[in-house]
Structure 1
Amino acid sequence: MAIEEETFYNIIGEEINRTNILNQMIGFYSLLLEVGQTKVTDFNEGSEIRNLLESVAVLGYYVMEDQNELSKIAFPDTAEGEWLDKHGANPFIKIERDTGSEATGYVVFSIPNVSTEDIVIPEETIVVSTESGLEYATDSEVIITAGELEATASATCLTEGEDGNCSENTITLIDDDYLSISELSVNNTEAFTGGTNYEEDDEYRERLLNFVRQPDFGSLPYYQELGDNIDGVHDVLLVDTGQTNEIGRPYTKEILVNGDTKPVTNELLLSVLEVFSDTNNKVIDHTFLVGAPEYVELSLTVNLNVINELVESEVRSVLQAVFDGGAPVDSMEFDGLHIGETLFKNNLVSALELFDDVESVTIIDDDTLEELTDISVESNEVLQLVGLTINQTIVS
């Protein structure tokens, strides 16, 4: 019994089936025959070599089919379902599929005449739109108190989607199976809104592609933000480089990476290179080098006059955060130094003065043994705190 022929079209539109694969292999043998590298000539139906090649063609077909699926997954233009969602979840896109939502709004329950007793309208009371026939459930219990004529309840459509959005004065029925109170009526004095349909692949894909096609895609600010948003990166600087890539073209830019911790690790540099090599994140012919900035090491001695002794580990973490960024202590958060940024002495002093018990601060540069002054660096350099001595003197 012959195996039923299967076929698919690959990502570039070529038809792939076992017959095509078989004919390619037979063609290869024919070329070998011409140059005397094989004596196989019988490829007729039923021949041993024909049977062997047909078996190989079956395996080759499924391998190529799997490879085609992987190729489609790799690009938002051809990805589907959960794989398309993964493109939207890319931290540099961050556009989620609209999975649909229910319409919400408010309904007013009312009675024609005041009652001497409270009228309780339970949570999940069902009301119905005469416009669409859709049902809505109240979100909480409400009470028409004795002496009052009405009470307002929020409600949510039980059917997800745009159909749940309805005009004002159209929710006017109460489901008697859920609530039966004599002369009680309901109405929505305002429209119900917020219902959205599940976003199908074609619509979602177009939103993702429109984001990638935005005017600043591939621009310097775009690449700057792309690098800054990578986990573990404090900031990046894109600079010109005279080096050329593997095909002899100059690199578009070199990306200097300043990590949240210093010096930057090779693992983080590789992560950045991977992001900037992803064809979804860059203009197709842009190429990048990735490297570390020049680190300018600094050692400090900090002399504190304090009313009560501070926890030294907290002082250290605050000073380190001035350089690297972070929130080491409650209510204290620091941006950290960027590549090429000047360290201002007052920034260190101000950080230490956030501790209530600090009376005065003196900071010594260990390299010069003189009181610290503002320190400027070159545009490709970043300051790194490598040594810290803390002295505390308690004063009355």
Structure 2
Amino acid sequence: METRKFTNILSKLIDKTMVATHKVTDFTPGSAIRSLYEAIALEIEQLYILTKENIYWGIQEGVIESFDFKRRHARKAYGNVTLRFYNPIEEDYIIPRGTTFTSTNQEYPYQFETLVEYRVPKDSTEAILEVFSKQTGASSNIPENTLNVMTSSPPSLRSVSNETSFNTGADLESLEDFKKRFQDFVETRGRATNKSIRYGAMQVPDVEGVYVYEQVGLVTAFVHDRNGNLPDTVKKNVEQELEDYRPSGIMLRVAPVIKTLTDISVRVTLSNKDRISDTLEHHIEQVIRTYLNNFKVSDDLILNDLIQVIMNIDDRLIYDVEFSTIHGNTITKPEEIIRAGNIDVTLI
């Protein structure tokens, strides 16, 4: 769609006036009539721009709405917490639905709760529960070993901890991701193809990555959420979703990905030795851990990319980065996913 520019509108107004009357002749910059026409031209140009944007928006929304395609809502973070007891419990212990877990770390004031009732069998020394954040959005994600308080905890409880980070919290889907997902939707209208199976699995909101492995008579979809896991509820939802996408007469299996824990030991040289502190060391460790825990299935660890992530923390302060545990790129198998193992940061 072609629109008129400010200069074209202004010149048109001046030309029309000069043809229609000889009483107004001063159109030089700064004159009263010129200033008035410039204001009018600006308003008309803005009207053209808004009209163009509204037309494009209407076309785009009309196409998307015709397929009942909507943006994904914000998601809650979830994951497992481990309860450990001083001694084997003497009888079955019931953990009711709605039991809340929190952290003494003021940086993470979020509350997590159980959505179902759990029964811890007699003689158990530990129990693993799945908990969900009460808040939605990416801000509810937490690192490992953050949750350490349980409401109404039994006297025999020794410790509470989330041994892995929670990364499943997500904000409202961005317009860029929404448009890309709709484009994938259009491209995978052909059913029973590799792309369509991948797209079908990605339709489940908690799914973050998919790898489709095809064999004679069998198709395996390796699926994971943002934590790198495949909870039973997510697996069930994926299997139901793929009923409309799987090839006829061929068995389709949904399986978890294979986690590969990557240990990182890094020496970071600073240009200002006065900045060496435990706080900076912990911050660099968290940046590395978050970067690795955001990998998807089949993603390779490129050493230069990891170095750049560390340098981006403060490229003036960080002078050099040297690894002792990895000496090159880490190439994964298609069904594997990289996750952070032990992260050791030394500042020099």
TM-score of the aligned structures, taking structure 1 as reference length: 0.35
Give the number of the structure with larger relative contact order, counting CA–CA contacts within 8 Å between residues 6 or more apart. Answer: 2
Structure with the greater alpha carbon radius of gyration: 1
